[in-house]
Each structure stands twice: as C-alpha cells, then as structure tokens.
Amino acid sequence: MLKEERQQYILNQINQNYRVYITTLSTELGVSDDTLRRDLIELDERGLLTKVHGGAVAKSGIPIEFTDRMNTGIEEKQQIASKVIPLFRSGDVLLIDGGTSNLEVARRLPTDMELTVYTNSFPIVNALFNHPKLDLIFLGGKVFPSSQVTVGVSVFQALQTVRPDWLVLGICSVHPHQGLTGPDREEALIKRFMMERAQKRIVLADSHKLNTAEAYSIASLGDVDYLVTEDQKIDYIRQHWPKHSYVLM
C-alpha cells in the first residue's frame, strides 16, 4: 500500500470513528507502529487530525476566523444558547468568553435582568452595549484578530480581581478523553485561567465540536459544570462518553 493510500485510510477511519489507534491500524494495514506514527505526525502537521498518545483524534473542522464561523451552524447555536439563559438570575456576575455560540447567549440576555458581565470579546461588547440593566466590563489586552478577543497579561491581571458566578466558555473542540482543547496556545491559556476563576462553568458544544481535539489543552471534562449541546446529541453522549459530573443540557 502506498503512503498516500495508507494516509487516506487513516483519514477515512477518523471521519467514521472520530479517533484511531496505532495498534489497530498496524494490524489492519500490516505496517509498523513507527511508520504509522510518522503518518500521524505528517497528517497532524497538515492540520487534518490531532495526534495524541497511542493514536489520533479528529479536528473540529470549524473555521478559525470569527467572521467565517458566524455563518456555520446558526440554528444549532441558537438552540443551544436558548438553554443557557434560564440558569442566570438578577444580580449574577457573568464572564462571557469569545465565540459565535457565546454571542448568541449574549443576544438573549433578558433586558429586564440586572447582571454584571465581563467579556474579552469585541462582538459581545457590541451586542450588549445598549442593554439597559447591565454593568458591562471589557477585559482589554492584546488583540487576537481571528477570534476578535483580547488575550495576554492585561486580561490575566483583570481576571484576578473577579470571581464570577458563571463562565460561558468559548470552545472549538470537546473530546470525551482529551477534554477541552484549542488551536492557539495564548488563547488556550486565557481560557484555562477563566475556568479557574469561575464558580460555575458552562461549555456550549454543537455537533461539529464533539469528539474532536486541538493542540492545546484547556481543561478536563471534569472541570465543566454544564455541557450544553443539541437535543439530538444528548442520548449519544450519555451512551458513548464516560460518565462525568457535569449537567448535560
């Protein structure tokens, strides 16, 4: 089997099963583990999968640019965002991270609810600018253009002064074993610190994000309090993912 054929087989298995194991591929393809490791490294470098210990898992395939993500999975994001709003009460302090799903949450915050909202997202600030009963605080810092958020030391320093009741975390990949991951190191560090600061943590994950992983670790699924997804994915997660303490919505 040619290398190109072998790598296409690997990608086909990833698309069907969301992950592959080197030991299984070695048996199926009749090649050495070292050969398969080199294949997985090459495919990872090309951005086609994420290599992990013992194999590889799928990438989300979600566009990196915020403006491109605005046009994907619109109905799913709206359905998921609507589930989150009943969790909030007047007087709560919210930390809303960047992301197109999180933007839908911001747009749905009731206009009669008094809240304090911290965010590092330019689009979310714009969405909440005229909300009549919000105390809105923008976490200024280094601009990360592709996600339209701020990152860096200034954001870390600002977060040290707040202990929000709720974090709505923006995430692109959620995996039953790899946990929450992202494609950018600096942004992943900010998200990890947000998880540490919040009392309750909400992760919104449509079907494009499930069973996928990226290069940089943010948190384990055990750190999540509410995992919010599409209705049709709830039974799948209950049946196929390891048991976790989060509330599945």
Question: Model pTM?
Answer: 0.78
Q: What's the CA gap between 72 and 67, in Å, rounded? A: 10
pLDDT of residue 67: 56
Task: Outline where DSSP puts E strands in 83-236.
Answer: 93-96, 115-119, 134-138, 142-144, 149-151, 166-169, 173-175, 179-182, 200-204, 216-219, 226-228
Q: What's the CA gap between 47 and 57, in Å, rounded? A: 12
Closest CA to 80 of 240, 241, 231: 231
CATH class of 3-58: mainly alpha
CATH number for the domain running over 66-248? 3.40.50.1360
pLDDT of residue 89: 95
Annotated domain spans of the chain? 3-58, 66-248
pLDDT of residue 63: 54
Q: Give the containing element (helix H, strand E) for 25.
A: helix 22-29
Q: Which two tokens stand for residue 134?
A: 């919000």
Q: Which two tokens stand for residue 22?
A: 């080197």
Q: What is the pLDDT along the chain (249 residues), one digit of tens a residue?
A: 778 778 788 887 777 666 778 888 888 888 788 888 888 888 887 777 777 777 787 776 555 554 555 556 678 888 899 999 999 999 999 999 988 889 999 999 999 999 999 999 999 999 998 898 999 999 988 888 777 888 899 999 999 999 999 999 988 889 888 899 888 888 899 999 999 999 999 999 888 888 888 878 899 999 999 999 999 889 988 988 888 889 999
pLDDT of residue 170: 85
